[in-house]
């Protein structure tokens, strides 16, 4: 068998793409894009959930990222943005979080969960134009040999401020074909909330 020289091998033109994931150290993206906008939903009226479906058509990509700007109609206290994979509403998730509220820094772990918490968002207790924000990385989403994992950085300021670094696992090895985002309170996202889906090669 003929030897392949290093000059012709992939060692010569490797790229680091992991920096496009939130929370990692930074490396500028390559000129030929490996980070693409796939879909965006901006709500024109209050809505209880947003679903990105048909993700099976994005298997050209290795990872997904969802960038969110959200506000809840809830007024009873804090409200959180939660996720469901493949419409699974069972207690098939586990999640961890590290959070700061300004006066408290803490962590939590939840098993047998049905709605993994991503971050706490702004709600009707906050100024009218105040929104929470979150960036979720859904890793190796089309794999069928491992449970699906995701991580998030998100938060909001004002009445109940918080910043959260979280991760969750869906205890299922199926490829991810849909992601649903909804509110812990069961209320609605307000008009103007924005959800954008990106693919990372």
Partner 1 sequence: MATPTYDLLDSTTLASSASSVTFTSIDQSYGDLVVVIDSKGTSTTAIYSYYNSDFTNANYSYVNMTTLGASPSSNTASNPFVGFEGSSLGQSLSLLHIMDYSATDKHKSYLCRNNLPDLLTQAIAGRWSNSSAVSSVTLQLSSGNLVSGSTFYLYGIAK
Residue 194 interacting with partner 1 (CB under 8 A) = yes
CA distance 30 to 105: 37
CA distance 66 to 58: 14
Judged by CB under 8 A, the stretch of 1-9, 32-40, 109-117, 136-144 that binds partner 1 is 32-40
| Site residue total, partner 1 (CB under 8 A) | 48
Residue 25 interacting with partner 1 (CB under 8 A) = yes
Q: Which of 183, 161, 197, 199 is nearest to 70 (CA)?
A: 183
Beta bridge partners of 166: 97, 152
Residue 96 interacting with partner 1 (CB under 8 A) = no
The interface with partner 1 within residues 53-82 (CB under 8 A) comprises: 67, 69, 71
CB neighbourhood size of 101 (10 A): 15
When the beta carbons of 4 and 98 are compared against partner 1, the nearer one is 98
Is the Cβ–Cβ distance between 50 and 188 less than 8 Å? no
Residue 47 interacting with partner 1 (CB under 8 A) = no
In this structure, what token pair is assigned to residue 127? 């100024």
Residue 163 interacting with partner 1 (CB under 8 A) = yes
State the nearest-atom distance from the C-beta of 6 to partner 1, in Å.
Answer: 30
Residue 158 interacting with partner 1 (CB under 8 A) = yes
State the nearest-atom distance from the C-beta of 179 to partner 1, in Å.
Answer: 17
State the nearest-atom distance from the C-beta of 185 to partner 1, in Å.
Answer: 19
Residue 99 interacting with partner 1 (CB under 8 A) = yes
Residue 45 interacting with partner 1 (CB under 8 A) = no
CB neighbourhood size of 134 (10 A): 25
CA distance 198 to 183: 21
Collapsing DSSP to helix, strand or coil, 7 comes out as helix
Strands of 117-121's sheet, edge to edge? 49-52, 179-183, 79-85, 117-121
Q: Which residues bind partner 1 (CB under 8 A)?
A: 20, 22-23, 25-26, 28-29, 33, 35-38, 40, 42, 67, 69, 71, 98-105, 127, 129-135, 153-158, 161-163, 165, 192, 194, 196, 198-199
């Amino acid at each position: 068998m003929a030897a392949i020289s290093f000059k012709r091998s992939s060692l010569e033109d490797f790229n680091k793409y992991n920096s496009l994931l939130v929370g990692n150290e930074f490396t500028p993206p390559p000129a030929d894009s490996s980070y693409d906008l796939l879909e965006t939903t901006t709500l024109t009226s209050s809505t209880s959930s947003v679903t990105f479906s048909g993700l099976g058509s994005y298997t050209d990509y290795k990872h997904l990222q969802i960038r969110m700007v959200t506000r809840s109609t809830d007024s009873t206290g804090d409200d959180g943005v939660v996720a469901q994979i493949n419409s699974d509403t069972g207690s098939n998730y586990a999640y961890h979080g590290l959070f700061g509220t300004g006066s408290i820094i803490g962590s939590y772990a939840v098993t047998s969960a049905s709605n993994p918490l991503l971050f706490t968002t702004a709600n009707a207790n906050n100024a009218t134009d105040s929104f929470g924000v979150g960036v979720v990385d859904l890793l190796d989403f089309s794999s069928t040999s491992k449970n699906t994992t995701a991580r998030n950085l998100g938060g909001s300021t004002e009445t109940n401020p918080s910043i959260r670094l979280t991760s969750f696992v869906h205890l299922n090895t199926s490829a991810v074909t849909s992601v649903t985002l909804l509110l812990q309170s069961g209320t609605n996202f307000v008009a103007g909330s924005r959800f954008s889906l990106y693919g990372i090669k």
